[in-house]
Amino acid sequence: DTGVSQDPRHKITKRGQNVTFRCDPISEHNRLYWYRQTLGQGPEFLTYFQNEAQLEKSRLLSDRFSAERPKGSFSTLEIQRTEQGDSAMYLCASSLAGQGRETQYFGPGTRLLVL
Amino acid sequence: GDSVTQMEGPVTLSEEACLTINCTYTATGYPSLFWYVQYPGEGLQLLLKATKADDKGSNKGFEATYRKETTSFHLEKGSVQVSDSAVYFCALERDYKLSFGAGTTVTVRA
């Protein structure tokens, strides 16, 4: 059983650069979530998709952030004009909707460092 | 809004000791409750969950009971092993979004 995968696992960039992360969910899962985790804190919700539709975005997701899931399978999270405060672990999770209180399964995360 | 408060760490135990990590939540209605674990160098893994009041979740010797009257979901294990060293996160789910506590780091010494 293939779990959630994320790429890259680590990214170092300079302030002002754009970065893009990819998430591949568990194959039959139709919901996909993005969270952000800073050091010493629990993950915070950013956004989620059901199939290709982005259904909710947190106010944490500034206009420099954009997420897509074009074919309802993999998703990308882009951060434009990165700032040092964007340094964090970006986590992706997926779940199968329609089974009541479904469980979210997490990927290994992408650790971003903005210099 | 919804929030989760869990016991601050770090917690250091000897092997075979009992572990309890307290977790309380603030939410309206009946959210689902979860414990996730993050082993060193790995991603978040679901440890156990409970979806309604008085449900008990259990896995790998860990247990937690959904207590509506005290809005709590404390994690317990009777005899810990070195391999239980990890960061433990309590979380609640509402409208498909998870809200997490800050995490509790547990170190078990041989």
In the predicted structure, residue A78 carries a pLDDT above the cut 60: yes
pLDDT band with cut points at 50, 70 and 90 for residue A92: very high
Quote the tokens at residue A108: 């290994």
pLDDT for position B29: 83
Angle at A25 between CA A22 and CA A31, to 5 degrees: 110
DSSP helix/strand/coil, A80:
coil
Q: In chain A, what is the greatest distance between 2 CA atoms, to the nearest angstrom? A: 43
Quick: pLDDT tens for B9-35. 899 999 999 999 999 999 988 899 999
Quick: pLDDT tens for B57-95. 999 999 999 999 999 999 999 999 999 999 999 999 988
Whether residue B101 and residue A42 make contact (CB cut-off 8 A), yes or no, is: yes
What percent of chain B lies above the pLDDT cut of 70? 100
pLDDT for position B43: 86
Give residue A81's region: left, alpha or beta (phi > 0; psi -120 to 50): left
Distance CA B74, CA B7 (A): 9
**Which chain A residue lies closest to B101 (C-alpha atoms)?**
A42
Q: CA–CA distance from A63 to each of A12, A14, A59, A70, A93 (Å)?
A: 21, 19, 10, 19, 22
Place of tokens 């995968």: A5
pLDDT for position A61: 86
Distance from CA of B20 to the nearest CA of A (A): 19
Quick: pLDDT tens for A20-70. 999 999 998 999 999 999 988 999 999 999 999 999 999 888 899 999 999
In the predicted structure, residue A99 carries a pLDDT above the cut 70: no
Give the mean model confidence (pLDDT) for residues B47-51: 95
Question: Which of A103 and A14 is assigned the larger pLDDT?
Answer: A14
pLDDT for position A1: 55
Residue among A75, A54, A76, A79 at smallest CA distance from A65: A79
Residue type, B44: L
Whether residue A103 and residue B49 make contact (CB cut-off 8 A), yes or no, is: yes
Q: Which residues of B touch A41 (CB under 8 A)?
A: 102-103
Chain B residues interacting with chain A (CB cutoff of 8 angstroms): 4, 32, 34, 36, 42-46, 49, 51, 89, 91, 93, 95-103
Whether residue B32 and residue A44 make contact (CB cut-off 8 A), yes or no, is: no
A:41-70 residues touching chain B, CB 8 A cutoff? 41-45, 48, 55-56
Number of Cβ atoms within 10 Å of the Cβ of A14: 8
Sign of CA dihedral B91, B93, B94, B99: positive
> Least CB-CB distance to B93: which of A42, A55, A101?
A101
Distance from CA of A3 to the nearest CA of B (A): 11
> Least CB-CB distance to B100: which of A40, A42, A55?
A42
pLDDT for position A101: 61
Distance from CA of A16 to the nearest CA of B (A): 28
Distance CA A8, CA B61 (A): 34
A:88-107 residues touching chain B, CB 8 A cutoff? 91, 93, 95, 100-101, 103-107
Quote the tokens at residue B73: 């979901």
Quote the tokens at residue A95: 């779940």
**The three-state (H, E, C) secondary structure of B32-95, written as one string:** EEEEEEECCCCCEEEEEEECCCCCEEEECCEEEECECCCCECCEEECCCCHHHCEEEEEEEEEC
Angle at B64 between CA B61 and CA B69, to 5 degrees: 165
pLDDT for position A45: 95
